[in-house]
Amino acid sequence: ECFVFDKRVALGSDLRETKTTQCYACLSPLTVEDQQSPHYDPPHTCPHCHLDEQEQLELRLRNRRRKLDRITSPLPGSIPYNNVRPLNVAQRFDGFTLLDYLRNAHPHLGEGYWERECDEGRIHQKYRPVRGDKPVRAGEQFAHLHPGTTEPDVNAKVEFLYEDDQIVVVNKSAPLPVHPSGRFHRNSLQWILNEVYRPQVLKPAHRLDANTTGLIVFSKTRSVARVLQPQFEEGRVTKTYLALVHGNVEWKQTVCEAAISREPANCGGRTIDEEGGLPSRSRFECLHHNPDGTSLILAVPETGRTNQLRVHLWHLGTPIVGDPLYLPDRRIGTAQTLSVGETMCLHAWKIGFHHPSTNDFTEFETVRPDWARD
């Protein structure tokens, strides 16, 4: 048989029209029996190219992986570019000069930093440099120019686990910041995924430290985020972590309720603040002791404070192996983000929440990292 005219009319060897047709999608010849199949859905699928839901998901995730590889080879933030960061004047700085606002809003950058930035014309408003003595008003916006920016390398080997019309679930690698901040902008999970899913703009439903690996959930639209994000903010989700800690812990199970500071300390991380801190609660279970003097811990945060599990385990005298900030003997380090190749042994292993469209409780689980396997 051959197809003529619009390439959908089949002719037999006697040049008479037959009942065979052709799939619009994969161009396979379709017999009468093929056309009666429930998988024949012109112009989309036929019995030869039909994929069930799981196969469609696997194909979609493979395509996402290929696009991710293209976007991150080389890493987008490792190529010099002109970075522009917004500066928004809060109410408490109303009436300050621009220079005083910048000094007070970002005191950690040190004496003289903002004077140099203003003198070199790197603070703009409406694409024009602004003098440091200009009075500012609450709600005003400025731009901080960083020409020739390059960012530290990250581990962008993200694993796509699930996707539908409303959510995306990935297994985050480390070190990899979730949000653009500090030294990281393009080399962040959110920026990279937004390039993969463009023109969609994904919104993370919760936080995960740059040094922490594991599950993180994204909303595909604002309307989905309005349903999903409050579940995380109000503690209506389940989270289970795995942690490898220094020391053979003496307990099988324990709870830590030490309050955690509201603001970052000088080190950039949170610490214990029993008087003015935020109420915090974490449950821990020792899975086993290792011959090298470490313990594998199952960790469940019942509140969602910044650095909560890291701070609580450090407070208990059993800090996480590889943590650059919360060190043994209750010491505090100076580094916040690890270099590529270094490992902090904290992994977001399981997560459960109510799906925003069906309200069904949905749970995801990743494979254990090498350091957490029996």
- Please report, for the domain that includes residue 107, its CATH number: 3.10.290.10
Per-residue pLDDT at 245: 98
Domain check: are 193 and 293 in the same one?
no
How many structural domains is the chain composed of? 4
- Domain boundary at 203, 233, 263, which? 233
Q: What tokens were used for 69?
A: 């590889």
Domain check: are 120 and 168 in the same one?
no
Domain check: are 245 and 361 in the same one?
yes
- Domain boundary at 33, 50, 67, which? 50
Spot the catalytic one: 52, 153, 209, 360: 209
- Domain boundary at 148, 174, 206, which? 148
Domain check: are 281 and 331 in the same one?
yes
Residue 71 lies in a domain: no
Residue 140 lies in a domain: yes
Domain check: are 109 and 126 in the same one?
yes
Residue 264 lies in a domain: yes
Give the model confidence (pLDDT) of 274-301 as tens digits: 999 999 999 999 999 999 999 999 999 9
Domain check: are 164 and 227 in the same one?
yes
Domain check: are 141 and 38 in the same one?
no
Which pLDDT tens digits describe the chain residue by residue (374 residues)? 556 555 567 766 767 778 888 888 888 888 889 899 988 999 888 888 888 888 889 999 999 999 999 999 999 999 999 999 999 999 999 999 999 999 999 887 877 999 999 999 999 999 999 999 999 999 999 999 999 999 999 999 999 999 999 999 999 999 999 999 888 999 999 999 999 999 999 999 999 999 999 999 999 999 999 999 999 999 999 999 999 999 999 999 999 999 999 988 766 789 999 999 999 999 999 999 999 999 999 999 999 999 999 999 999 999 999 999 999 999 999 888 899 999 999 999 999 999 999 999 999 999 999 999 87
Domain check: are 32 and 136 in the same one?
no
Residue 204 lies in a domain: yes
- Annotated active-site residue 209? The verdict is yes
- Three-point CA angle 37, 41, 46, nearest 5°: 60
Give residue 227's domain range: 154-233
Domain check: are 174 and 199 in the same one?
yes
Domain check: are 221 and 276 in the same one?
no
Per-residue pLDDT at 263: 85
Burial 304-318 (b: 16+ CB within 10 A, else e): bbbbbbbbbbbbbeb
Residue 59 lies in a domain: no
Domain check: are 222 and 245 in the same one?
no
User: CATH no. for residue 174?
Assistant: 3.30.2350.10
Residue 105 lies in a domain: yes
Residue 173 lies in a domain: yes
Give the model confidence (pLDDT) of 106-135 as tens digits: 887 877 999 999 999 999 999 999 999 999
Domain check: are 93 and 166 in the same one?
no
Residue 55 lies in a domain: no
